[in-house]
Amino acid sequence: SGKLKVGGGTHMHTMRAIVSSAGASSLAPWRARLRDFQQPMLVPGVARCGRHVASRWRAPLQTAMVSTTLAGGLVCSRAGLRLGQRRSEARCRSTIKKVVQPAEPRPGTSPWDADPSLYEELLVEKVERGRSLLGARLQVPLEIIRSPPLHYRLKTEFDIQHCGAGISFGISKPGTRDWMSVEQYPIATQAINKLMTELRRELSLPQFDVLRRSAFHAEFVSNADGGVIVCMMHRKKLDEEAWRPAAEELLSCVTADGFIGRSNKQRLVAGEGQLVQNYEVQGRVYPQIHAELMFSQANAHVCAEMLRWVAEQTSPAEGKSFEEQGDLLELHCGNGNFTLPLAANFRQVLATELVKDATQHATECARRAKVQNIKFARLSSKELELALSGERAFRRLDDAGVELSHYNFQTVLVDPPRQGLDQAGLEVVKRVRRCLYVSCNPSRLAADLDELPGYEVRAAAFFDQFPFTEHAEMAVLLERPA
């Protein structure tokens, strides 16, 4: 048994790793190493756990317990457990059972039972946490952007449980494996909630058995105009000849714009396979493609405010030419959400993203919006750093028509995933005098700012992107003094 303490946290969580070994002939000492926490799950009131958290122990029994105390709690998910018998090289298969027991959330503060009367109270708590994370770095006013408390979420996912001839949608309570059926999801759009009710009713009918059979997961995608599509994932390959007419008949019975069936290396579509969410920024309309299994902004109201804020922060000063403004470099551009409206403030833009489908969506959005001064390139942060330093040439840059010597990068925009910037990303930022950092994880934002000591925060904003969750979005404008 071992304890790991980080930052003086107060929440105690216990994880038991119960090891069942096949063919163990004795109770000889075992050596176990718990390593590589991957794909973290959020537990209410919980902060991120480091990727490499290890605890070693030796015991004559096949049960090991690790207790950890972390700032705000513990995040854990899949873990690898290596077992080796000291006097034998035989490998044994093991089963790991992890139990995380977080404190029960207050009634009305969770996504499934959101009480709008508690919204302001919860927002104040989140804002104060954000302020405390930035600490002394925050010497400018913090602009606070509120969200509608209910029906704001454009995308949501549910597990599917089969109940006789029908199905129910549900989730596992955070930190446990307890199934909780969800009839209505208050934070999801009204279009999603309506479609959930319709699907539970229609999929219980025998003519739709092919659509229901072997389904285990559903993802709902909507837009602010009331459009909605649903994707159901299946464990077994779908019979296209039987699936397609059933899906088309289902669409005539529900309010969905599209119905998608997925299994391993298979995607079948009836109706629309994606939706478009339009945002107006500085008098121009920019589209954003929403599709299943692809990242897109989940809160239309807050996203519009984010686009307004970043556009204001990068607007050229009065009398300043595009040549003086310089060019924009963007990391993690996704489907071009920030790229398109910011292109109006710069002579030219180079936007990079590693996910191929995302860059294709971004290119299509730019074509629809008739924005012509953007180049999209599929590069990781490490590859971009190598290209900027001249250490390596990439054909993907040539294919995109990018000649780096033709750019004068004065501003970099980063909107990294929840784990923040990697070392290569930080090195890219250090090349540029001004940085717009948009973060969906304020704790990682604070950690990355520690790695950028030469920059000062010139503007900051707090976006309540995810009411009734622990998540929030923060953005800062960083500048390096001349």
Question: Structure pTM?
Answer: 0.78
For the chain, the average pLDDT equals 82
More confident residue, 280 or 68: 280
Answer whether 275's CB lies under 8 Å from 292's CB: no
Q: What is the pLDDT of residues 315-366, one digit of tens each?
A: 988 877 778 889 999 999 999 999 999 999 999 999 999 999 999 999 999 9
Answer whether 274's CB lies under 8 Å from 294's CB: no
- Buried residues in 128-162 as b, exposed as e (16+ CB within 10 A): ebbeebbeebbeeebeebebbbbbbbbbbebbbee
The percentage of the chain sitting over the pLDDT mark of 70, rounded to a whole number, equals 78
What pLDDT sits at residue 18? 30
More confident residue, 147 or 55: 147
Q: How far is CA 450 from CA 111, 168, 190, 445, in A?
A: 33, 46, 41, 9
Q: What is the pLDDT of residues 69-100, one digit of tens each?
A: 333 333 333 333 333 333 333 333 333 333 33
CB atoms within 10 A of CB 106: 12
Q: E strand or H helix at 361, and its extent?
A: helix 356-369
Quick one: pLDDT band at residue 19, thresholds 50, 70, 90?
A: very low
More confident residue, 380 or 19: 380
The percentage of the chain sitting over the pLDDT mark of 90, rounded to a whole number, equals 73
What three-state secondary structure class fits 151? coil
Quick one: pLDDT band at residue 33, thresholds 50, 70, 90?
A: very low
Mean pLDDT value across residues 186-203:
97
Positions annotated as catalytic residues are 440, 473
What pLDDT sits at residue 103? 63
**pLDDT at residue 464 is higher than 50:** yes
Q: What is the pLDDT of residues 434-459, one digit of tens each?
A: 999 999 999 999 999 999 999 999 99
141 torsion bin: left (phi>0), alpha (psi -120 to 50), beta (else): beta
User: What's the token pair of residue 36?
Assistant: 């590589």
Q: What is the pLDDT of residues 93-143, one digit of tens each?
A: 333 333 334 567 788 999 999 999 999 999 999 999 999 999 999 999 999
**pLDDT at residue 23 is higher than 50:** no
CA distance 114 to 149: 8
What pLDDT sits at residue 302? 98
Answer whether 40's CB lies under 8 Å from 53's CB: no
Mean pLDDT value across residues 189-207:
97
**pLDDT at residue 293 is higher than 50:** yes
Mean pLDDT value across residues 392-412:
95
Answer whether 19's CB lies under 8 Å from 96's CB: yes
Nearest 5°: the CA angle 351, 354, 357 is 95
Q: How distant is the alpha carbon of residue 356 from its chain centre?
A: 17
Mean pLDDT value across residues 159-175:
88
**Tokens 């034998």 sit at which residue?**
88
What pLDDT sits at residue 102? 54
Residues 6+ apart with CB under 8 A from 395: none
Residues 6+ apart with CB under 8 A from 144: 123, 127, 461, 462, 464
More confident residue, 464 or 321: 464
Answer whether 371's CB lies under 8 Å from 346's CB: no
What pLDDT sits at residue 175? 66
Mean pLDDT value across residues 425-432:
96
Ordered alpha helix ranges (H), 391-430: 395-399, 423-430
